[in-house]
Amino acid sequence: MIVKLKLLTPLNTQKLYIISVSGGVDSMALLDYLFHRKIPLIVVHFNHLMREEAILDKELVFNYCQTKNIPFHYFELDLPKKDFQNQASLFRKKRLKEIAVKYETRYCLTAHHLDDLAETIFLKMIRGSSLLGYSGVQPSYREDDIFFLKPFLYLPKEELIRYAVEKKIPFLEDRTNGLNIYTRNKIRNQIIPLLKEERHFLKNMEKFHQQTTEAHDFIRSQSRLFLSQQTLSEVWDLEAFLLLHIAVQKDILLTSLEDKKISKNFTLINNIIKGLQNRYKPNAEWDLNNEWFLIKQYDQLLWQKKILLVQENLVKPLLYGCVEPKLLSFCQEQKILFYDEGKIKFPLVLKQKRDGDMVKFPFGTQKLKKFLINKKIPLSKRKKLWLVVDQNNTVLWIPHLYINQTLGKTKTFNLGINSV
């Protein structure tokens, strides 16, 4: 029976492609298939230095490239064993991008197939992921202006093996793939074979992948629409955000965390959503990492870099006071304080806001914190407020916000303040 392979992503004979070839059946089948269709190729082979026989993989790929006159590049991965799989993936991707830049092309190919896709879906379900992550491997994606393509993604490995045998394509199998030392290997060797007993298992994995990808793409399009409608990229309309579907809200936060290279933590995202929905708490703050805060401030949601919020010590303004107002004409802010004899205990002091401070009105006394909330003063500004108080800690004046009008009317005292 003649095996006919069909690429998920059509390739162009006028473009150059960087292809990662391990020497296994999948990558060798892809290499041979593309070579015979006159697709221009540059081969990259990685040695993970985990097996003595890995040198045979290199020789196999090198010899194939030499006989076909295909440029060959070789890299060794001398990486620590801790988090090896992830670090190896990052290393390979980095080197592929470097080779693409060297040859002035924007396309890299890998030979992931349908069995790989099924393994990845189960692995993500075990470890937890986003909607896009649960869909498994993507047929194509763009990173640093380089496109990574997987043209065999919907082909079962069995078809690639039959194709390689039929075409007499040389390949070697990595014996460590049969060792259950990694979770992925356990899925590959123990779970997937069992599920394959169900006739349409792999086809249903393909459908699952398509449906979850389509759902993600729609949600992401709504996220991008919201972000495009914000006047400033780091200042969002909170009311408009809360009107969106919860799935879109979470995706907006997720993509923003990704863009700012903040660790994706779904517990954090759920806590943020809960805090944003709490209308009884108009101000809130989330410490995201060493660089970013997320701040809820009444009807706005702000992404604030920490460097802009760090204050070593607030510089204390200069306070002036006198009976004659003309003597304070040089002050940036002035106020007349009315009072009766004995109602103020001098000297006056300039201090920062503290918990427990009270402000007095003709109708009664109110906590300063509640007064500022009612005035919708953002939390970030409350921390910077300066208060003029007397020796009894009676709040007399908060520049721009408050003047005590409960002290009488028989005398006047003029207050002035200048920033240093």
Domain regions of the chain by residue span: 17-204, 230-305, 318-418
Phi, psi of 238 (to 5 degrees): -65, -40
Tokens 């107002």 sit on residue: 325
In single-letter form, the type of residue at position 43 comes to V
How confident is the model at residue 1, as a pLDDT? 55
Tokens 């007499």 sit on residue: 168
Q: How far apart are CA 98 and CA 111, in angstroms?
A: 19
Q: Does domain 17-204 have CATH number 3.40.1780.10?
A: no
Domain topology for 230-305? 3.30.465
What end-to-end distance do the CA atoms of the chain give, in Å?
87
Q: How many CB atoms lie within 10 A of CB 245?
A: 10
Q: How far apart are CA 110 and CA 256, in angstroms?
A: 28
Q: Which residues make beta-bridge pairs with 333? A: 417
Asked if residue 136 belongs to a known ligand binding site, the reply is: no
Which whole-number Å values give the CA distances from 381 to 173, 309, 384, in the listed order?
Answer: 64, 11, 5
Asked if residue 25 belongs to a known ligand binding site, the reply is: yes
Please, which contacts does 159-167 make with residues 24 or more away whose CB atoms are closer than 8 Å?
159/3, 159/5, 160/5, 160/25, 160/26, 160/29, 160/111, 160/113, 161/25, 162/1, 162/3, 163/3, 163/5, 163/29, 163/33, 164/25, 164/28, 164/29, 164/32, 166/2, 166/3, 167/29, 167/32
Contact (Cβ atoms closer than 8 angstroms) between residue 297 and residue 159: no
Tokens 């991707």 sit on residue: 93
> Residue 264 is encoded by which pair of tokens?
């994706």
Q: Closest Cα partner for 22 from 113, 146, 107, 131?
A: 113
Query: From first to last of its 420 residues, what are the pLDDT tens digits of the chain?
Result: 567 788 988 999 999 999 999 999 999 999 999 999 999 999 999 998 888 889 999 999 999 999 999 999 999 998 887 878 889 999 999 999 999 999 999 999 999 999 999 999 999 999 888 888 888 889 999 999 999 999 999 999 999 999 999 999 999 988 888 788 889 999 999 999 999 999 999 999 999 999 999 999 999 999 999 999 998 888 899 999 999 999 999 999 999 998 888 887 889 999 999 999 998 888 898 989 888 889 898 899 989 876 543 433 445 677 777 767 766 777 788 899 999 999 998 888 888 888 889 999 999 999 999 999 888 888 878 878 889 999 999 999 999 899 999 999 998 888 888 763
Asked if residue 23 belongs to a known ligand binding site, the reply is: yes
Q: How far apart are CA 283 and CA 377, in angstroms?
A: 9
Q: Where are the beta strands (DSSP E) in 110-178?
A: 140-143, 146-149
Strand order in the sheet with 411-418: 318-322, 411-418, 333-339
Indicate left, alpha or beta for 115 from its phi (over 0: left) and psi (-120 to 50: alpha).
alpha
How confident is the model at residue 316, as a pLDDT? 66
How confident is the model at residue 311, as a pLDDT? 39
Q: Closest Cα partner for 408 from 340, 349, 355, 357?
A: 340
Q: How far apart are CA 342 and CA 67, in angstroms?
A: 103
Q: How far apart are CA 113 and CA 108, in angstroms?
A: 16
Q: What is the chain's alpha carbon radius of gyration, rounded to the nearest angstrom?
A: 33
Which residues neighbour 198 within 8 Å (Cβ) at sequence distance 6 or greater?
none
How confident is the model at residue 308, as a pLDDT? 42
How confident is the model at residue 25, as a pLDDT? 97
Q: How many CB atoms lie within 10 A of CB 192?
A: 18
Contact (Cβ atoms closer than 8 angstroms) between residue 298 and residue 282: yes
Q: How many CB atoms lie within 10 A of CB 177?
A: 12
CB-based burial, 139-162: b 16+ in 10 Å, e otherwise: beeeeeebbbbbbbbbbbbebbbb
How confident is the model at residue 318, as a pLDDT? 72
Asked if residue 321 belongs to a known ligand binding site, the reply is: no
Asked if residue 22 belongs to a known ligand binding site, the reply is: yes
